[in-house]
Amino acid sequence: MPVNYIDLRQQARAEALKAKDALKQIEERRAQAAALLAQRADDLEAIRQRVAEAAQLDPRLRCALPTSEPLTHAGPLPAAPDAYTLIAADGSQINPNAHAPLHYFLVNLGAIRLRGGSAEAPDVFTHSELHVAEYTRSGGYSEELVSLERDKGERKLLAGLAEGAEQRPILTLTDGPLELWGEKAANYSGDKAFDEHLSEYLAALEQLHQRSAAAAGYVDKPRADLLVRMLEVLQLPEGADALALRARPLRGVTDAHLLRDLLQPGERSAVFAIQSQSAGRYFGHLALHFFYLNVGRPRAPWLARVEIPGWVAGDAAQLDALHAVLVAQNNVLGAYTYPYVLHRAHEIAVVKHEEHEQVAQLLINELRAMGVEPGELSQKQAAKNLPGRRRFTL
């Protein structure tokens, strides 16, 4: 049966009415948050102490922590370095399919390395990893674990390519948070598979640090409310308990929404640390930090969140180089404010639909050549694959 558009139109109209009322309330909350941000802009030590007290009440608290810049800091666009190396990596995957003849997955990584200030063509790299879980892992490998393989692989690829870079500063970039799995990581605390992936991921970050290469994760359309959550903590009365901490008086306001009128095109926010359960795994020079960057145009702001480790947050030259190069990269694609190198890395890494069948057939052919007969499609998938519309007698 087709979608019932009569029902959907009525539901869409009801949702639009609810959205109109909700947006009015969120805008009022944004004004409250902006006023509090300005009021407490220089109370950095008091804010850090307040957040530490709140984290004692609830170790799961996840919010921003000020570092050394006022909360309302708007850093101007610095000059880009005359020469630099910029490396971006992205990944795509074929997830395991329980209905397919074989339970396998593929992680495909792509990277681009360009030399800023040079007329040389950029270098392009690909790396593909095929895993057959049918025989090695009792057929058990989830899409989440495949995503971990991909994210870890991107950072390891960057670390390897940074070793071969000669032109400094070296800037490395991925799409998405720098923190492996971000907020979801808390759900996997103590999980052996996750811990193994995280150890390799942290080792790749350490390799980048030893190479004095900047690492960053670029979040294009951030919906995080780390700053807003910090402001909610500041509103707690003295002696508040964990139940009061879970209240969200500014719910619905995002950090990007809060900062949209503060940052002009090309400007960055203050650098903040992150209070979270995973902070104990990312410590010292690996400690997670972030800032917001307005990569938009006059009267058309577009705020991205950039996550960086402690060694970049504490190095003014690396921070300025990353700031300037990211703004320049966002000007390459014309009307689309997204880093060109990340766009290219995605194009290099993406696995096209027709390649899914080709990879599966390649694997089946090799298994048969070794005398191993692959399994069969599930009956459910076989029925779905029937051509056209079929009627059956009941």
For 52-90, what is each residue's pLDDT tens digit? Answer: 999 999 999 999 999 999 999 999 999 999 999 999 999
**Greater pLDDT, 237 or 388:** 237
How far is 174 from 177, CA to CA, in rounded Å? 8
Phi-psi region of 344 (alpha: psi -120 to 50; beta: other; left: phi over 0): alpha
Residue 392 scores a pLDDT above 80: no
Query: Residue 218 in 3-state DSSP?
Result: strand
Give tens-digit pLDDT for 92-137: 998 887 777 777 889 999 999 999 988 899 999 999 998 886 554 4
Q: How confident is the model at residue 337 (pLDDT cuts 50, 70, 90)?
A: very high
Nearest to 225 by CA among 269, 246, 247, 255: 255
Give tens-digit pLDDT for 190-217: 788 888 999 999 999 999 999 999 999 9
How far is 291 from 303, CA to CA, in rounded Å? 10
Nearest to 95 by CA among 83, 85, 86, 107: 107
Give me the pLDDT at residue 375, please. Answer: 65
Give tens-digit pLDDT for 275-329: 998 888 898 999 999 999 999 999 899 999 999 999 999 999 999 999 999 999 9
| Dihedral (Cα; 32, 35, 41, 44), 10-degree rounding | -30
How far is 201 from 204, CA to CA, in rounded Å? 5
**Greater pLDDT, 367 or 169:** 169
How far is 219 from 305, CA to CA, in rounded Å? 5
Give me the pLDDT at residue 255, please. Answer: 98
Nearest to 97 by CA among 358, 290, 381: 381
Give tens-digit pLDDT for 4-37: 888 889 999 889 888 888 999 999 999 999 999 9
- Kindly give, in sequence order, each residue whose CB lies less than 8 Å from that of residue 377, ignoring residues fewer than 6 positions away: 99, 100, 101, 385
Tell me whether the omega of the peptide bond preceding residue 122 falls within 30 degrees of 0, making it cis. Answer: no
Give tens-digit pLDDT for 250-271: 999 999 999 999 999 999 999 9
Pinpoint the alpha helices (H) of the chain: 5-39, 44-57, 133-136, 143-163, 192-210, 226-234, 242-245, 255-259, 310-313, 316-329, 340-349, 353-369, 379-384
Q: How confident is the model at residue 386 (pLDDT cuts 50, 70, 90)?
A: low
Query: Residue 137 in 3-state DSSP?
Result: coil
Give me the pLDDT at residue 138, please. Answer: 47
Spatial contact of 215 and 306, defined as CB atoms under 8 Å apart? no
Task: Please tell me the pTM assigned to this model.
Answer: 0.91
Spatial contact of 129 and 146, defined as CB atoms under 8 Å apart? no
Give, in order, the Cα–Cα distances in Å from 117 to each of 86, 114, 333: 11, 9, 18
Spatial contact of 201 and 151, defined as CB atoms under 8 Å apart? yes
Q: At what angle do helices 226-234 and 44-57 cross, to 10 degrees?
A: 90
